[in-house]
């Protein structure tokens, strides 16, 4: 067993760290406050290869491994979880699925601009009445011969407005249950497709989360991913990888908060010495560091298995379940270490605490991760 990173992986991590410090940190508080999407920064992330990290270079991607992706996601998320969820969805829910299951034409037309960061993608599964219970899709894709007629509403869609390419899951044949579901590639601007209201959220406020409405949208048959009825399997397989991205985001939120708490504890004095010299604070730091290391190992293990082309669904669910809990626990403690300063925006930890919560909800709640894990255990 080897716990060492390769030179390339270290270089990717360092590049992401440098980018986050120089390009994302300035303005992150204001973007959170104004709910402003980091459009300029995402564009630069595309230029640096962070938006299609694992995609084959022949489709404009970085050709990197999943371990590098975890490392980059952690660094970006330490500073700006709104930018990192955009990166995660584009990389692992949209690019990965298109590369693995798309046709050559779909890859040329859609994957290339997504992998290079020229365009942003969105993954549209959740609905007003179908979140965890993902087979209960109300959105319909009626088979009309050479095209599908798409009707319905999607909710809480990350990159909802900033995206221009959308992977939309919809029911074609209700009698077939999950085997009657398809995934269609929808372009912004198609007649009948409207981007709905922007959500006013607790955290990741810089990320643009919208509802989407589809009314008689004509989607050509060649925009279906995989065989007829493959849509649900497509969504589940894609989410297996997506959960590595969100687990790494949670890890980054936790380690960002921990680094701030560690630095602050050395500066802030109470009772005549830095608070880092008090055991109450030392124990908090020890717990945070231990939990973060455990979460990182789970993320890297899931990534490693994926890179080795082995089953990784259970490990990615474990990584997400655990890292998201660590993100909550560590950010709450980081605010506590900061005392009153932790409760004000200037010190960043209150934002990280707000950002942490969503990692226990999206791409499968913690309860769903437990279903996924226990089903694997009981197979
Ligand atoms: N990987 C691959 N295939 C899977 C799978 C997985 N993890 N989970 C299920 N499947 C397959 C099953 O094998 C089954 O296929 P067969 O019938 O051929 O055997 C099929 O899918 C149906 O599976 P189930 O009968 O187990 O389906 P279910 O109704 O019991 O649901 C579930 C299973 C795990 C609860 C699933 O519905 C689920 O994961 N729900 C959560 C959905 C989710 O994560 N939503 C997040 C929205 S996306 C998002 O948040 C993105 C964003 O913008 C940030």
Say if residues 77 and 86 touch (Cβ distance below 8 Å).
no
Q: What is the rounded distance in angstroms from the CA atom of residue 362 to the CA atom of residue 169? A: 16
Say if residues 52 and 229 touch (Cβ distance below 8 Å).
no
Q: Is the CB of 372 under 6 A from ligand 1?
A: yes
Residues 6+ away with beta carbon under 8 Å from 361: none
Closest atom, ligand 1, to C-alpha of 209: 53
Domain 240-377 has CATH 1.20.1250.20: no
Dig out the tokens for 32 from the structure: 């959170």
Q: Is the CB of 374 under 6 A from ligand 1?
A: no
Question: DSSP code of 206?
Answer: T
Closest atom, ligand 1, to C-alpha of 93: 51
Ligand 1 midpoint to CA 93 (Å): 14
CATH class for the domain made up of 122-232: mainly beta
Query: Measuring from atom 43 of ligand 1, which residue has the nearest CA?
Result: 364
Query: Measuring from atom 34 of ligand 1, which residue has the nearest CA?
Result: 372
Ligand 1 midpoint to CA 231 (Å): 11
Ligand 1, residues 134, 159, 319: which to mutate, most atoms within 8 A of Cβ? 134
Q: Is the CB of 232 under 6 A from ligand 1?
A: yes
Question: DSSP code of 318?
Answer: H
- For residue 240, what are the CA distances in angstroms to 22, 201, 237, 296? 32, 25, 5, 17
| Predicted TM-score of the model (pTM) | 0.97
Closest atom, ligand 1, to C-alpha of 375: 26
Q: Is 161 exposed, middle or buried (0-12, 13-18, 19+ CB in 10 A)?
A: middle
Cα dihedral sign for 298, 303, 309, 315? positive
Write the CATH number of the domain with boundaries 7-119. Answer: 1.10.540.10
Q: Is 363 a catalytic residue?
A: yes
Query: Measuring from atom 37 of ligand 1, which residue has the nearest CA?
Result: 134
Is there a shared CATH topology between the 7-119 domain and the 122-232 domain? no
CA angle at 159 for the pair 353 and 249, rounded to the nearest 5°: 35
Per-residue pLDDT of the chain (379 residues; tens, 9 = 90+): 889 999 999 999 999 999 999 999 999 999 999 999 999 999 999 999 999 999 999 999 999 999 999 999 999 999 999 999 999 999 999 999 999 999 999 999 999 999 999 999 999 999 998 888 888 889 999 999 999 999 999 999 999 999 999 999 999 999 999 999 999 999 999 999 999 999 999 999 999 999 999 999 999 999 999 999 999 999 999 999 999 999 999 999 999 999 999 999 999 999 999 999 999 999 999 999 999 999 999 999 999 999 999 999 999 999 999 999 999 999 999 999 999 999 999 999 999 999 999 999 999 999 999 999 999 999 9
> Can you give the residue ranges of every domain in the chain?
7-119, 122-232, 240-377
Ligand 1 midpoint to CA 227 (Å): 18
Question: DSSP code of 21?
Answer: I
Residue-wise pLDDT for 142-161, tens only, equals: 999 999 999 999 999 999 99
Using CA atoms of 36, 335, 25, 124 in order, give the dihedral in degrees to the nearest 10: -40
Q: How far apart are the first and last CA of the chain?
A: 27
Ligand 1, residues 167, 236, 245: which to mutate, most atoms within 8 A of Cβ? 236
Residue-wise pLDDT for 87-108, tens only, equals: 999 999 999 999 999 999 999 9
Strand partners, 150: 141, 217
Ligand 1 midpoint to CA 134 (Å): 7
């Amino acid at each position: 067993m080897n716990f060492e990173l390769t030179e390339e992986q270290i270089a990717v991590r360092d590049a992401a760290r440098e980018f986050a410090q120089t390009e994302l940190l300035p303005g992150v508080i204001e973007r959170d406050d104004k709910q402003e999407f980091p459009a300029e920064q995402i564009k630069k992330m595309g230029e640096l290869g962070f938006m299609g990290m694992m995609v084959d270079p022949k489709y404009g991607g970085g050709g990197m491994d999943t371990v590098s992706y975890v490392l980059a996601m952690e660094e970006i998320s330490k500073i700006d979880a709104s930018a990192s969820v955009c990166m995660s969805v584009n990389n692992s829910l949209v690019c990965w699925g298109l590369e693995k299951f798309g046709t050559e034409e779909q890859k040329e037309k859609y994957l290339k601009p997504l992998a290079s960061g020229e365009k942003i993608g969105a993954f549209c599964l959740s609905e007003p009445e179908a979140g965890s219970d993902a087979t209960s899709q109300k959105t319909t894709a009626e088979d009309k011969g050479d095209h599908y007629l798409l009707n319905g509403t999607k909710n809480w869609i990350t990159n909802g407005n900033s995206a221009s390419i959308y992977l939309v899951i919809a029911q074609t044949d209700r009698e077939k249950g999950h085997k009657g579901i398809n995934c269609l590639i929808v372009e912004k601007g198609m007649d009948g497709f409207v981007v709905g209201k922007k959500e006013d959220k607790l955290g990741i406020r810089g990320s643009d989360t919208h509802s989407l409405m589809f009314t008689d949208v004509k989607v050509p048959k060649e925009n279906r991913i995989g065989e007829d009825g493959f849509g649900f399997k497509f969504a589940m397989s894609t989410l297996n990888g997506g959960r590595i991205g969100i687990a790494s985001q949670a890890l980054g939120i936790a380690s960002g908060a921990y680094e701030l708490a560690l630095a602050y504890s050395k500066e802030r004095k109470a009772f005549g010495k830095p608070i880092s010299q008090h055991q109450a604070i030392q124990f908090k730091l020890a717990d945070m560091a231990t939990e973060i290391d455990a979460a990182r190992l789970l993320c890297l293990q899931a990534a490693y298995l994926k890179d080795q082309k082995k089953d990784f669904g259970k490990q990615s669910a474990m990584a997400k379940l655990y890292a998201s809990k660590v993100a909550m626990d560590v950010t709450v403690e980081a605010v506590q270490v900061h005392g009153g300063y932790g409760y004000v925006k200037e010190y960043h930890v209150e934002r990280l605490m707000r950002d942490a919560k969503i990692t226990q909800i999206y791409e499968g709640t913690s309860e769903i991760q437990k279903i996924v894990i226990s089903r694997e255990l009981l197979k």
